[in-house]
C-alpha cells in the first residue's frame, strides 16, 4: 500500500508552517532557475562578440531572470519565513485564514508554472526586459503569445500576493497573544507589516497597468499605441508600482538583519522604536520617488527635481536604521556564526548600494548612468546584497528551528566567504561600466569593456557555485545534522521558546502571555472574541468549543483540498485564454466547481482560527477578522481603481495636446441611459444596507427579500450595461476606436467584473441565510458583503461622471 498521508499533507495542508516550507522550497527552485538564466547570459557577455546566444534568446533570458528573481524568488522567500514565523512571533496558532493562505501558495505556484511555460508558448516568452516598456510590449513589436502569457502570469501572481497581504495584515493586527503589543513585535514581523502594506498599495497599481497591457494585447485597445497614452503612461503606472516594489524586496531581509544583529551581539536593538518609525516613513516615501526612473523622459523639470529631492530624503530613514544597527553592536559580545556573518555581509553590501543610490538620485548625473551597468550594479547591491543576503542569514538562523537539526557551521562559513568574494567580483565592476548599455547581447572588443565583463562573469560563476555549498550543507544537515536545541542562539522572539521543530499548533504549553519580564504560558480561556457567533466568510468559529479542548478536532481540519484545485483551475483557465478553448473551458469549469466546493465547505461550518479573547488587537479591536480582511481588500482596491482613474486623467488631459478630440458629454454615451443605470446600482446599495438591518433584527423574510432585490438590481445593471455595450459596438465605438473608447471599456468592464463577482457572492449569501440556524448568525456575512457592495457603488459614483459627463 502506498502511504498517501504525506502526499495529502503537502497538497492539502492549511498549516502555516507547512505552507512556509512549500514557499521556501518553491522560491529556492525558482532561485536556481533564474540564477541559471543569469549564468547563461553572463557566459554570453564574458568575451566581446560572443555568439553563444541568439539576441532573442538573450532578451528572453534577461527578462525572465529579472521577473523571476524579483517576483517569484525574493518576495516569496520572505513570504516563506513570514508564513512560518510571523504567526509564531505574534503568539498565534495559525494565520487568520488558513485556507486563503494555502490558496496564496498554490496560486503563486500556478503563476510560476504559467510564467515558465510561456517559454514554450510559441515564439518564446516576454523579451522586453522586466520593465516592459511601451510600446515594445504591444503586439505590433512583440507578437509572441508567450509575452501575453507572462502578463497573465504576473496578474495571477499579484492576485496571490494581495490575498496573502490581506491575510497577514489581519493576522498581525487581530491574532496577537495577550501582552504582545505592536511595539513588542520582533523587527522581522514589523518588516513584514510594511512589506505587506507596500504590496497592498503597490501591487494593485501593477495589476491595473497589466490590465491595460493585456487589454491592448488581447482585445486590441490602444492605450500604449495611441499618442494620448503611449510610453509615458506605462512608465508612470509601472514605476509607481516598481519603486515601492524595490522596498518590498528589501525590507524582509533588511529586517532580519536587525534581529540577527541583536541576537548575535547579545544586545537589544538600538532604538527599535525609531527603526520602526523609519520603516514607516520610508514606506510612505517610497510612493513618491518613482519618477527618478524617468529622469531622461523630458517631462517637467520641476517635477523631476522634486523627485530628485524625495529620492534623497528616502535615504535618510535607511541611514538612521543602518546606524542604529551598527550601534546595536556596541557593548555586545558578538558571535560570528553563519547567520551573523550573512547579516554583517548584508549590511555592508547594503551600505555600498545605498551610497550609489544617492548618485542615482541626481537628475544630472543620470545623464550618464541611465540604462547602463552602473544601475545594474547599484540595484543588485541593494536587492541581492541587502535583501537576499539578509534572507540567507535568516535561512541559516531558522534552519534549526524548521528542521530540528543543526547545519554544518564550517560549510556555512565557507559558503559565506565564497559568496562575498563572488558577489563583489560580480557586481562591483559593473559600476565601472557606466558607459556600457545594459541588456545588450554583445559588444565589440574596441569598446574596451571585455576584461571587466570577463571579471564579472567569473564573479557570477563564483557566486553561483557558492550557493551549491549552501544547498549541499542544508540538504545533508536536514537529514543527518545533529539535533538542534530549542534555542541555539539565544533569540528573543517567541519561536525560540517552543520546541524545534514546532508542534502543529505552535504553543504546546498554552497561550503565550507577554509581559515586561518575559513570556509565560497559560492554559487558554474558552471564550472567544466573537462569542461563538458565526463568522462571515462561511467560517464557523466552532462556537462553544474551548480554545484548547477542540485541538484534535481543529487538527483534523488543518487541511482542505479546495485551494490547490482553485489555483489549478485558475492557472489552466488563463493558459487556455491564450492557448485554446478546450483548456479555457476545462480551467473555468474546474475553477467554478472548486469555488462551489469551497463555499459548501464553509457552509458546513468549517473552522477558522479562533480569536483569543484576551489577545492584543489594537487598533482594530472592534472589527472582526473577516470584516477587517474585507476592509484591507478595499484599501487595495482604492489603489487599483485609483491608478486606473489616473490613467483616465492622463489620457483625457493629453488629448487636446495631441490633437485628439475627446467625445463631448452625450456625443457617444447616452447620459440618461447611464444615469438610469446609476440609479439602479445605487438603489441596490440601499437594499443591501436594509438587508443588514433585517438580519440584525432577525427578520428572515426581510433579509431574503432585500438580498433578492439587491441581486435583481445588480443583475439588471449588468444586463442594461450589456445592451449599452452592444449599442456602442453597433455604432462603431469599439475597443480599438480611440483612447477614449479603450479607457471606457476597461473601466466599465473592470467595474462590471466586480459586480459579477459580487452577484456570485450574493448567491452564496442567500444560501447561507437560508441555511443559517438563526438569521442573526448570517448578519456577519451580510455586513462583510455590504462593505464590498458599498465599494462597488462608490467606484461607480466616480465612473459615471468620468465616463459620461466629462
Partner 1 sequence: MPALAPSAEQWQSLFTLYIIAAVIVGGAVFVMFFFFLVRYRRKPGGTEPTDAPRVGVMADRGNPALAAILTALLVSLFFGLTLNTFALNAYLQNPPNDPNALYIDVIGFQWGWRFVYPNGHEAIDELRVPVINGTCTSSVRGCWSGTVILNITSADVFHSFGIAVFKIKRDAIPGRVNQAWFVADKVGIPDTIPEYREAVRCYELCGTGHALMFADLLVLTGDNFRGWYNGR
Partner 2 sequence: MMIEEAKYAAVYGILMLGLIVEILIAVDGGALGSLAGPAILAIASLQAIFIFLVYMHGRYGPRPVAVFAVISLITVVPLFIALLYSVVMPHHGSLP
* Residues in region 6-65 near partner 2 by CB under 8 A: none
Nearer of residues 369 and 789 to partner 1, judged by Cβ:
369
3-class SS string, 249-270: HHHHHHHHHHHHHHHHHCCCCC
581 binds, among partner 1, partner 2, none (CB under 5 to 8 A by kind): none
Residue 212 Cβ vs partner 1, minimum distance, rounded to whole Å = 16
336 binds, among partner 1, partner 2, none (CB under 5 to 8 A by kind): partner 1
How far apart CA 100 and CA 636 sit, in angstroms, is 17
667 lies in the binding site for partner 2 (CB under 8 A): no
Nearer of residues 302 and 333 to partner 2, judged by Cβ:
302
Residue 167 Cβ vs partner 2, minimum distance, rounded to whole Å = 16
3-class SS at 507?
coil
How far apart CA 314 and CA 5 sit, in angstroms, is 50
Nearer of residues 28 and 494 to partner 1, judged by Cβ:
494
| Cell 550573512 sits on residue | 342
What the block records as the C-alpha cell of 248 is 518590498
- Judged by CB under 8 A, the stretch of 122-130, 132-140, 209-217, 618-626 that binds partner 2 is 618-626
Residue 767 Cβ vs partner 1, minimum distance, rounded to whole Å = 45
Nearer of residues 94 and 235 to partner 2, judged by Cβ:
235
- Judged by CB under 8 A, the stretch of 217-225, 353-361, 437-445, 648-656 that binds partner 2 is 648-656
Nearer of residues 292 and 768 to partner 1, judged by Cβ:
292
How far apart CA 598 and CA 569 sit, in angstroms, is 13
Residues with Cβ within 8 Å of residue 97, at least 6 apart in sequence = 167, 170, 537, 539, 608, 609, 625, 629
Q: Is the peptide bond before 619 cis (omega within 30 degrees of 0)?
A: yes
Backbone dihedral angles phi then psi of residue 526, each to the nearest 5 degrees:
-70, -30
135 binds, among partner 1, partner 2, none (CB under 5 to 8 A by kind): partner 1
E strand map for 414-557: 511-515, 518-522
Residue 99 Cβ vs partner 2, minimum distance, rounded to whole Å = 25
Q: How many residues bind partner 2 (CB under 8 A)?
A: 72
Nearer of residues 493 and 741 to partner 1, judged by Cβ:
493
Residue 625 Cβ vs partner 1, minimum distance, rounded to whole Å = 25
619 lies in the binding site for partner 2 (CB under 8 A): yes
783 lies in the binding site for partner 2 (CB under 8 A): yes
- Judged by CB under 8 A, the stretch of 376-384, 402-410, 584-592, 641-649 that binds partner 2 is 641-649
Residues with Cβ within 8 Å of residue 94, at least 6 apart in sequence = 14, 15, 16, 87, 505, 506, 558, 609
Residue 81 and residue 188 in contact, taking contact as beta carbons nearer than 8 Å: yes
Element (H, E) at 138: none
Nearer of residues 498 and 535 to partner 2, judged by Cβ:
535
Residue 78 and residue 195 in contact, taking contact as beta carbons nearer than 8 Å: yes
Nearer of residues 485 and 621 to partner 2, judged by Cβ:
621
3-class SS at 454?
helix
| Cell 509581559 sits on residue | 515
Residue 9 has a CB neighbour count (10 Å cut-off) of 13
Residue 183 Cβ vs partner 2, minimum distance, rounded to whole Å = 17
287 binds, among partner 1, partner 2, none (CB under 5 to 8 A by kind): partner 2
Residue 363 Cβ vs partner 2, minimum distance, rounded to whole Å = 11
How far apart CA 350 and CA 427 sit, in angstroms, is 12
Nearer of residues 671 and 770 to partner 2, judged by Cβ:
671
CA angle 806, 757, 175 (to 5 degrees): 110
Residue 60 and residue 147 in contact, taking contact as beta carbons nearer than 8 Å: no
240 binds, among partner 2, partner 1, none (CB under 5 to 8 A by kind): partner 2
351 lies in the binding site for partner 2 (CB under 8 A): no
Residue 271 Cβ vs partner 2, minimum distance, rounded to whole Å = 24
* Residues in region 678-737 near partner 2 by CB under 8 A: 678-679, 682-683, 685-686, 688-690, 692-693, 696-697
Nearer of residues 124 and 253 to partner 1, judged by Cβ:
124
Residue 117 has, within 13 A of its CA and on its CB side, a CA count of 16
Residue 496 Cβ vs partner 1, minimum distance, rounded to whole Å = 5
> Of 335, 666, 753, 760, which lies in the binding site for partner 2, with binding defined by CB under 8 A?
666
Torsion of CA 441, 446, 447, 452, to 10 degrees: 80
Residue 454 Cβ vs partner 1, minimum distance, rounded to whole Å = 18
Residue 504 Cβ vs partner 2, minimum distance, rounded to whole Å = 33
Residue 414 and residue 366 in contact, taking contact as beta carbons nearer than 8 Å: no
- Judged by CB under 8 A, the stretch of 105-113, 187-195, 533-541, 631-639 that binds partner 2 is 631-639
CA angle 342, 417, 480 (to 5 degrees): 75
Plot region of 639 (φ>0 → left; ψ -120 to 50 → alpha; else → beta): alpha
Residue 141 has, within 13 A of its CA and on its CB side, a CA count of 11
631 lies in the binding site for partner 2 (CB under 8 A): yes
First vs last Cα of the chain: how many Å apart? 70
* Residues in region 268-307 near partner 2 by CB under 8 A: 284, 287-288, 290-291, 297-303
* Residues in region 224-243 near partner 2 by CB under 8 A: 227, 232, 236, 240
Nearer of residues 343 and 691 to partner 2, judged by Cβ:
691
592 binds, among partner 2, partner 1, none (CB under 5 to 8 A by kind): none
3-class SS at 792?
helix
622 binds, among partner 2, partner 1, none (CB under 5 to 8 A by kind): partner 2
Residue 19 Cβ vs partner 1, minimum distance, rounded to whole Å = 24
Residues with Cβ within 8 Å of residue 460, at least 6 apart in sequence = 38, 39, 42, 422, 426
* Residues in region 470-489 near partner 2 by CB under 8 A: none
3-class SS at 372?
strand
The candidate with the shortest Cα–Cα distance to 264, out of 321, 336, 193, is 336
**Bridge partner list, 146:** 125
* Residues in region 160-219 near partner 2 by CB under 8 A: 201, 205
Residue 337 and residue 407 in contact, taking contact as beta carbons nearer than 8 Å: no
CA angle 586, 587, 590 (to 5 degrees): 85
494 binds, among partner 2, partner 1, none (CB under 5 to 8 A by kind): partner 1
What the block records as the C-alpha cell of 501 is 521543530
Nearer of residues 14 and 643 to partner 2, judged by Cβ:
643
Nearer of residues 437 and 801 to partner 2, judged by Cβ:
801
Nearer of residues 258 and 636 to partner 1, judged by Cβ:
258
Nearer of residues 126 and 792 to partner 2, judged by Cβ:
792
Nearer of residues 228 and 560 to partner 2, judged by Cβ:
228
Backbone dihedral angles phi then psi of residue 63, each to the nearest 5 degrees:
-65, -50
Residue 295 Cβ vs partner 2, minimum distance, rounded to whole Å = 11
Nearer of residues 12 and 620 to partner 2, judged by Cβ:
620
806 lies in the binding site for partner 2 (CB under 8 A): yes
Residue 328 Cβ vs partner 2, minimum distance, rounded to whole Å = 30
- Judged by CB under 8 A, the stretch of 360-368, 415-423, 485-493, 792-800 that binds partner 2 is 792-800
Residue 760 Cβ vs partner 2, minimum distance, rounded to whole Å = 20
Residue 324 and residue 275 in contact, taking contact as beta carbons nearer than 8 Å: yes
136 binds, among partner 2, partner 1, none (CB under 5 to 8 A by kind): partner 1
92-107 in b/e form (b: 16+ CB < 10 A) is bbbbbbbbbbbbbbbb
Amino acid at each position: 500500500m502506498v502511504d498517501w498521508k504525506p502526499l495529502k499533507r503537502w497538497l492539502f495542508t492549511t498549516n502555516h508552517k507547512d505552507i512556509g516550507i512549500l514557499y521556501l522550497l518553491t522560491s529556492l527552485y525558482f532561485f536556481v532557475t533564474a540564477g541559471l538564466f543569469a549564468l547563461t547570459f553572463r557566459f554570453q557577455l564574458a568575451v566581446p562578440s560572443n555568439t553563444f546566444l541568439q539576441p532573442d534568446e538573450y532578451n528572453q533570458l534577461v527578462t525572465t531572470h529579472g521577473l523571476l528573481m524579483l517576483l517569484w524568488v525574493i518576495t516569496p522567500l520572505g513570504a516563506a519565513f513570514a508564513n512560518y514565523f510571523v504567526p509564531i512571533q505574534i503568539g498565534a496558532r495559525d494565520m487568520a485564514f488558513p485556507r486563503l493562505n494555502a490558496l496564496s501558495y498554490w496560486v503563486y505556484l500556478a503563476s510560476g508554472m504559467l510564467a515558465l511555460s510561456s517559454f514554450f508558448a510559441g515564439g518564446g516568452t516576454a523579451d522586453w526586459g522586466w520593465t516592459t516598456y511601451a510600446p515594445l510590449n504591444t503586439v505590433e513589436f512583440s507578437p509572441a503569445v508567450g509575452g501575453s502569457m507572462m502578463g497573465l502570469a504576473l496578474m495571477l501572481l499579484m492576485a496571490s500576493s494581495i490575498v496573502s497581504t490581506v491575510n497577514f495584515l489581519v493576522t498581525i493586527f487581530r491574532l496577537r497573544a495577550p501582552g504582545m503589543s505592536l511595539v513588542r513585535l520582533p523587527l522581522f514581523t514589523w518588516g513584514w507589516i510594511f512589506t505587506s502594506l507596500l504590496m497592498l498599495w503597490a501591487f494593485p497599481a501593477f495589476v491595473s497597468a497589466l490590465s491595460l497591457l493585456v487589454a491592448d494585447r488581447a482585445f486590441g485597445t490602444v492605450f500604449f499605441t495611441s499618442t494620448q497614452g503611449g510610453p509615458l503612461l506605462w512608465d508612470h503606472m509601472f514605476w509607481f508600482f516598481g519603486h515601492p516594489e524595490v522596498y518590498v524586496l528589501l525590507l524582509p531581509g533588511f529586517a532580519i538583519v536587525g534581529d540577527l544583529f541583536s541576537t548575535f551581539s547579545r544586545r537589544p536593538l538600538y532604538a527599535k522604536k525609531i527603526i520602526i518609525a523609519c520603516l514607516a516613513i520610508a514606506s510612505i516615501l517610497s510612493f513618491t520617488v518613482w519618477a527618478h526612473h524617468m529622469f531622461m523622459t523630458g517631462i517637467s523639470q520641476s517635477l523631476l527635481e522634486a523627485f530628485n529631492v524625495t529620492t534623497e530624503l528616502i535615504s535618510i530613514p535607511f541611514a538612521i536604521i543602518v546606524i542604529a544597527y551598527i550601534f546595536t553592536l556596541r557593548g555586545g559580545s558578538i558571535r560570528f556564526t553563519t547567520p551573523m556573518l550573512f547579516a554583517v555581509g548584508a549590511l555592508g553590501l547594503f551600505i555600498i548600494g545605498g551610497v550609489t543610490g544617492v548618485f542615482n538620485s541626481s537628475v544630472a548625473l543620470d545623464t550618464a548612468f541611465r540604462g547602463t551597468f552602473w544601475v545594474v550594479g547599484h540595484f543588485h547591491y541593494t536587492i541581492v546584497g541587502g535583501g537576499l543576503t539578509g534572507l540567507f542569514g535568516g535561512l541559516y538562523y531558522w534552519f534549526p528551528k524548521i528542521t530540528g537539526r543543526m547545519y554544518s557551521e564550517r560549510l556555512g562559513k565557507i559558503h559565506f566567504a565564497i559568496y562575498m568574494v563572488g558577489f563583489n567580483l560580480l557586481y562591483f565592476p559593473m559600476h565601472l561600466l557606466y558607459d556600457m548599455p545594459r541588456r545588450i547581447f554583445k559588444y565589440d572588443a574596441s569598446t574596451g569593456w571585455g576584461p571587466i565583463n570577463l571579471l564579472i562573469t567569473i564573479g557570477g560563476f563564483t557566486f553561483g557555485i557558492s550557493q551549491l555549498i549552501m544547498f549541499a550543507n542544508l540538504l545533508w544537515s536536514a537529514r543527518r545534522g545533529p539535533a538542534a536545541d530549542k534555542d541555539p542562539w539565544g533569540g528573543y522572539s517567541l519561536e525560540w521558546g517552543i520546541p524545534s521543530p514546532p508542534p502543529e499548533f505552535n504553543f504546546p504549553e498554552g497561550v503565550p502571555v507577554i509581559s515586561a519580564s518575559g513570556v509565560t504560558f497559560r492554559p487558554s480561556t474558552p471564550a472567544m472574541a466573537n462569542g461563538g457567533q458565526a463568522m462571515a466568510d462561511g467560517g464557523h468559529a466552532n462556537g462553544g468549543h474551548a480554545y484548547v479542548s477542540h485541538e484534535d478536532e481543529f487538527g483534523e481540519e488543518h487541511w482542505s483540498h479546495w485551494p490547490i484545485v482553485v489555483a489549478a483551475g485558475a492557472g489552466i483557465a488563463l493558459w487556455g485564454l491564450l492557448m485554446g478553448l478546450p483548456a479555457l473551458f476545462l480551467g473555468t469549469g474546474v475553477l467554478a466547481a472548486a469555488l462551489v466546493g469551497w463555499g459548501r465547505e464553509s457552509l458546513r461550518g468549517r473552522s477558522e482560527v479562533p480569536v483569543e479573547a484576551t489577545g492584543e488587537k489594537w487598533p482594530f479591536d472592534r472589527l472582526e477578522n473577516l470584516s477587517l480582511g474585507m476592509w484591507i481588500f478595499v484599501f487595495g482596491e482604492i489603489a487599483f481603481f485609483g491608478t486606473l482613474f489616473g490613467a483616465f486623467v492622463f489620457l483625457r488631459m493629453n488629448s487636446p495636446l495631441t490633437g485628439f478630440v475627446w467625445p463631448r458629454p452625450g456625443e457617444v454615451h447616452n447620459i440618461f441611459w447611464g444615469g438610469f443605470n446609476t440609479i439602479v446600482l445605487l438603489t441596490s446599495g440601499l437594499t443591501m444596507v436594509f438587508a443588514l438591518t433585517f438580519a440584525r433584527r432577525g427578520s428572515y423574510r426581510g433579509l431574503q427579500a432585500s438580498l433578492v432585490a439587491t441581486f435583481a438590481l445588480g443583475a439588471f445593471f449588468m444586463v442594461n450595461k450589456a445592451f449599452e455595450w452592444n449599442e456602442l459596438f453597433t455604432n462603431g465605438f469599439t475597443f480599438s476606436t480611440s483612447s477614449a473608447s479603450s479607457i471606457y471599456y476597461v473601466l466599465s468592464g473592470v467595474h462590471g467584473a466586480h459586480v459579477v463577482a459580487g452577484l456570485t457572492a450574493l448567491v452564496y449569501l442567500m444560501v447561507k441565510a437560508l441555511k443559517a440556524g438563526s438569521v442573526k448568525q448570517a448578519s456577519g456575512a451580510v455586513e462583510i458583503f455590504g462593505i464590498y457592495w458599498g465599494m462597488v457603488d462608490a467606484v461607480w459614483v466616480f465612473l459615471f461622471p468620468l465616463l459620461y459627463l466629462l
